Amino acid sequence: MKLITDDISSWATSLDGFKPEYSSVKIWNILQLFTLEGRKSVIKKENIISIPFLRLALYSPQEQRYYYKEYQGYDVDTMYLRRLESDKDKPYIDSLRRYVSDGNLYLLLSEDQVKDTTAMLERLYKSHYVGKGKVPYKIWLKLLQAYLDYEDYKDYGENLVGYKTVCKTFEDKLRALWEQCYKN
């Protein structure tokens, strides 16, 4: 890794400065910070954890630098479902979301993290289909988002008008995503 360091932070002038230790992946969805826990293959909120020991590269367009940062490990409730435990973390979380929406944040994945993600995608495929394969990463993110939204809706929308219709819509969307996964 070719990082420049001062008293406050460390940075690289390009994403290549983080190689060979890390592979960079642009973050376009806040859910990219999360994975399934251990060897679990059921997508539900209690099985989702932040990627362990995750590092990030934050691009500063003004300074043309990629700052090396450590992810604080906030859970999916805080980062995706926006349920804050305290207001002291709000500025950090809001700025992280802003960096994702601006396209200025990158995952820095070690070789082990890439292998773990690949194994998780293969395990997820195997839990639904016979044979070898793996769930495409973009479909994994869509599945994760749909399952979390559906679980959240079931928890909070039970007494709303049209509850069963919305649940059926979620189930159809999930079925379509799994079919799309099988076709790939």
Q: Number of structural domains, the chain?
A: 1
For residue 144, give its domain range.
Answer: 4-183
pLDDT tens figures, 90-112: 888 889 999 999 999 999 999 99
pLDDT tens figures, 6-38: 888 999 999 999 999 999 999 999 999 999 999
Structure tokens at 11: 């940075």
